[in-house]
Amino acid sequence: MKNVLPIFEFYISSMYNLLHGVTDYAREHDWHLGIISTRFELPRRWSGDGILTHLTPSPQLMEFLQAHADIPIVSFNLPWGPRCDFPYAAISQDNDEIGRIAARYFLTLGEVNCCWYGDGLNRRYTAFSAELARNNRPAQIIILPENIHNLPWDDLSDWLTTELKKLPLPCAVFCENDSWARELLEAALMGGFRIPDDIAILGVDNETLICNSTSIPISSIDSRPRQIGYEGAALLDRLMAGEPFPVEPVLVPPVPMPVVRKSTDILATGNPVVAKAVEFIRKRHTTDISVADIARAVCSSGSGLRNLMNRKIGTSPRQLLQDMRIETACRLLRETDLKIESVAVQAGFGEAQRLHELFKKALKTTPQRFRMESKN
């Protein structure tokens, strides 16, 4: 029995989902998972086979990992800051792709302004703004200053409301995670903004407790933290078996379309052909439609519509149709116990083999495994 120590110095809801994934793998492969105290006191006499962690600049953590550098270490965040004096492998959500998904989704909403709200200009923002710029859209920015972080909620809400009033409307705001999206939603409502008509809000992680606990449920990108935990444990297992450390970080792809809820349920006026095509795909993607059907519905040729949509919203009719079908399949796998064959039919794929092929390509997993990772 392998003895593995998970070390996480802080706990947020997405981290619990990540630990669920680690536990799934440990149970399947007969591991013993050690624990640390609630005061984050690392064990002085621990001896084991591998460590799973989230690297932070904590001197205590660095000293502990250095002392155990003879066993494999896997971190659930990407390399950062000063170079560590011990080897480790890294696995993480694909933050670049998360940013691009947010931008591509906002482009499908029509002629809305776009904004980033977060703790800084990180990889998600960089990919988000680059994808928008590729389609000639600027990205507004709301960055939370250091002196605002620890203010009482009323003061933070007042500050956010002031920042929202500076935005050109209508505006779609991409938030760093679901907790930040919840904060923004509360401030927007207190400031008298209409959600989503004035301000549309998108989070990350699809934390259902957060997203569904408001009067206006929050749309979110599913970053798949439970699968990241599972894949991280699998990576550690391979390292413990003697495989070499991967040269590059392992990135787990998010679901390619957001889980759409009321906070972004808007289609602003824009190019009428593109708007009509997007709406047609939204309403009919679960049926047996083709790109030719979409083109006929908007009185366009297939190549003409493809070029127009690529120019206006950065994606093709075929890709948007596939992404919407994958998101619908993900929702059915999360929320129902339908057989895989029935999920394939109801999501518009027609047959299970096609669903399997596209899941492996887009999510690097199977529908069965996705269902397991999504069930809490």
Question: What mean pLDDT do residues 259-275 have?
Answer: 80
Cα–Cα distance measured from residue 97 to residue 125, given in angstroms and rounded to the nearest whole number: 11
Cα–Cα distance measured from residue 14 to residue 17, given in angstroms and rounded to the nearest whole number: 5
What pLDDT shows up at residue 101?
96
- E-strand stretches of the chain: 3-7, 32-33, 50-53, 73-75, 89-93, 113-118, 139-143, 171-175, 199-204, 219-221, 250-252
**Does one domain contain both 137 and 100?**
yes
Instruction: Report whether pLDDT(194) > 80.
Output: yes
Label residue 77 by pLDDT band (50, 70, 90): confident
What pLDDT shows up at residue 38?
55
**Does one domain contain both 72 and 16?**
yes
What pLDDT shows up at residue 266?
75
What pLDDT shows up at residue 11?
56
What pLDDT shows up at residue 17?
85
**Does one domain contain both 131 and 247?**
no
Asked whether 212 and 77 are in contact (CB, 8 A), the reply is no
Instruction: Provide the 3-class DSSP secondary structure of residue 311.
Output: helix
| Residue 367: partners with Cβ closer than 8 Å, 6 or more residues away | 329, 333, 340, 343, 352, 355, 356, 359
Instruction: Provide the 3-class DSSP secondary structure of residue 174.
Output: strand
**Does one domain contain both 162 and 54?**
no
Domain final residue, candidates 211, 233, 264: 264
Question: What mean pLDDT do residues 9-20 have?
Answer: 73
Question: What mean pLDDT do residues 124-152 have?
Answer: 89
Tallying the residues shown for the chain, one arrives at 376
Instruction: Report whether pLDDT(217) > 80.
Output: yes
- Nearest of 348, 96, 369 to residue 221 by alpha carbon: 96
Asked whether 204 and 116 are in contact (CB, 8 A), the reply is no
Cα–Cα distance measured from residue 142 to residue 184, given in angstroms and rounded to the nearest whole number: 11
**Does one domain contain both 304 and 317?**
yes
**Does one domain contain both 317 and 352?**
yes
Asked whether 4 and 45 are in contact (CB, 8 A), the reply is no
374/157: higher pLDDT: 157
Asked whether 175 and 117 are in contact (CB, 8 A), the reply is yes
**Does one domain contain both 116 and 178?**
yes
344-376: pLDDT as tens digits: 999 999 999 999 999 999 888 899 988 987 765
Provide the CATH number for the domain around residue 53.
3.40.50.2300
**Does one domain contain both 199 and 213?**
yes
Asked whether 131 and 103 are in contact (CB, 8 A), the reply is yes
The whole domain housing 75 covers 3-93+225-252
Provide the CATH number for the domain around residue 325.
1.10.10.60
**Does one domain contain both 109 and 85?**
no
What pLDDT shows up at residue 36?
67
Q: Say which DSSP state 259 is in.
A: B
What pLDDT shows up at residue 13?
63
pTM: 0.85
**Does one domain contain both 187 and 103?**
yes
317-342: pLDDT as tens digits: 999 999 999 999 999 998 899 999 99
316/8: higher pLDDT: 316
What pLDDT shows up at residue 141?
96
What pLDDT shows up at residue 45?
85
Domain final residue, candidates 264, 291, 322: 264
Cα–Cα distance measured from residue 254 to residue 252, given in angstroms and rounded to the nearest whole number: 7
Domain final residue, candidates 238, 264, 290: 264
What pLDDT shows up at residue 83?
64
What pLDDT shows up at residue 310?
87
- Nearest of 268, 323, 273 to residue 296 by alpha carbon: 273
What pLDDT shows up at residue 314?
81
What pLDDT shows up at residue 232?
96
Cα–Cα distance measured from residue 260 to residue 238, given in angstroms and rounded to the nearest whole number: 37
What pLDDT shows up at residue 268?
55
Q: What percent of the chain has pLDDT over 70?
A: 94
81-125: pLDDT as tens digits: 456 778 899 999 999 999 999 999 999 888 899 999 998 889 999
What pLDDT shows up at residue 58?
81
**Does one domain contain both 143 and 189?**
yes
17-61: pLDDT as tens digits: 888 899 999 999 999 998 765 566 788 888 899 999 988 878 888
180-193: pLDDT as tens digits: 999 999 999 999 99
Instruction: Report whether pLDDT(80) > 70.
Output: no
**Does one domain contain both 55 and 204?**
no
What pLDDT shows up at residue 14?
66
Structurally, how many domains does the chain consist of? Answer: 3
Question: What mean pLDDT do residues 243-270 have?
Answer: 86
